[in-house]
């Protein structure tokens, strides 16, 4: 009887922990300057209070979403391929993201101009390899993701990115070519948390900064670090509207 009681208590503890974790993950949300509410801003930037206008910062309602696009400059993935330290560097990228209720988002990023270099004894050497994700043209890497707002180390919202299918890679990167010294297909797995500078400030354009801090990415079986800074804004319906996360 005591053993059954102990098992039941353990199960309750697990359920309580799971509920707390779920509450923590969904504690943040996006707010977009929309028509309605009681703040009475004059227009979709929610920057100036008017007399009788009807714009307010409101949560994204159930069944509604906002399309966001962004671009960045150079992005880098540092890790190991075939036992060799490498840097995969892409010159540009385009991100397409959907903001959803309760701080959830989903989307994809297409990196272009991707090349790979080896790093040995302080020296970086560009390799004669074609780099791409499996199924994409040369020098292009495309990955899809799910992400959600989480509480960052500073107490404010940050963005946690995960593969679209649990326990599966974000992407599989292929290096090939007749003169390539590292011919391989290497998966990128794990999760990464990116920072949102001024996340709680209503802006038409926000920045997402990614670095290895707080991440658990792997390139193959070894730890990897991802560096990028992308600026994103709402497009399509609601283009130019201010938004923030809290």
Condensed to tens digits (0 to 9), the pLDDT of residues 108-136 reads 999 999 999 999 999 999 999 999 999 99
Reported pTM: 0.85
Q: Does residue 167 contact residue 218 with C-beta atoms inside 8 Å?
A: no
CA distances from residue 58 to 15, 61, 66, 228 in whole angstroms, order as listed:
32, 8, 13, 29
User: What is the per-residue pLDDT for 153?
Assistant: 85
Query: What are the phi and psi torsion angles at 225 (to 5°)?
Result: -125, 135
> How many structural domains are present in the chain?
1
Q: Does residue 245 contact residue 31 with C-beta atoms inside 8 Å?
A: yes
- Cα–Cα distance for residue pair 237/97, rounded to 1 Å: 14
Is 37's pLDDT higher than 50?
yes
110 inside domain: yes
Percent of residues, the chain, with pLDDT higher than 70: 89
- Cα–Cα distance for residue pair 81/119, rounded to 1 Å: 11
208 inside domain: yes
74 inside domain: yes
- Cα–Cα distance for residue pair 191/52, rounded to 1 Å: 46
CATH of the domain at 130: 2.40.128
Paired strand residues for 125: 118
116 inside domain: yes
25 inside domain: no
Is 47's pLDDT higher than 50?
yes
Closest by CA position to 99, among listed 235, 218, 214, 196? 235
| Domain with 105 in it | 64-245
User: Which of 25-29, 50-54, 56-60 is predicted with the least confidence, judged by mean pLDDT?
Assistant: 25-29
11 inside domain: no
Tell me, what DSSP letter sits at residue 100?
-
- Cα–Cα distance for residue pair 162/200, rounded to 1 Å: 23
**10: helix, strand or coil:** helix
């Amino acid at each position: 009887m005591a053993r059954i009681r102990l098992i039941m208590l353990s199960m309750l503890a697990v359920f309580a922990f799971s509920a707390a974790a779920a509450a923590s993950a969904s504690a943040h949300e996006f707010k977009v300057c929309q028509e309605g509410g009681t703040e009475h801003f004059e227009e979709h930037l929610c920057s100036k209070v008017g007399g009788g206008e009807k714009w307010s910062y409101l949560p994204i309602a159930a069944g509604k979403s906002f399309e966001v696009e962004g671009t960045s400059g150079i992005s880098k993935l540092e890790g190991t391929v075939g036992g060799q330290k490498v840097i995969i560097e892409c010159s540009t990228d385009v991100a397409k993201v959907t903001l959803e209720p309760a701080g959830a988002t989903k989307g994809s990023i297409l990196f272009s101009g991707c090349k790979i270099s080896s790093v040995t004894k302080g020296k970086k050497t560009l390799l004669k390899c074609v780099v791409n994700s499996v199924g994409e043209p040369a020098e292009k890497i495309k990955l899809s993701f799910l992400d959600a707002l989480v509480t960052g180390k500073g107490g404010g919202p940050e963005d946690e990115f995960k593969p679209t299918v649990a326990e599966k890679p974000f992407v599989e990167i292929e290096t090939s070519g007749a003169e390539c010294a590292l011919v391989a297909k290497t998966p990128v797995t794990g999760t990464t948390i990116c920072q949102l500078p001024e996340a709680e400030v209503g802006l038409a354009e926000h920045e997402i900064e990614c670095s290895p801090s707080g991440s658990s990415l792997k390139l193959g079986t070894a730890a990897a670090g991802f560096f990028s800074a992308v600026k994103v804004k709402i497009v399509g319906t609601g283009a130019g509207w201010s938004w923030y996360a809290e």
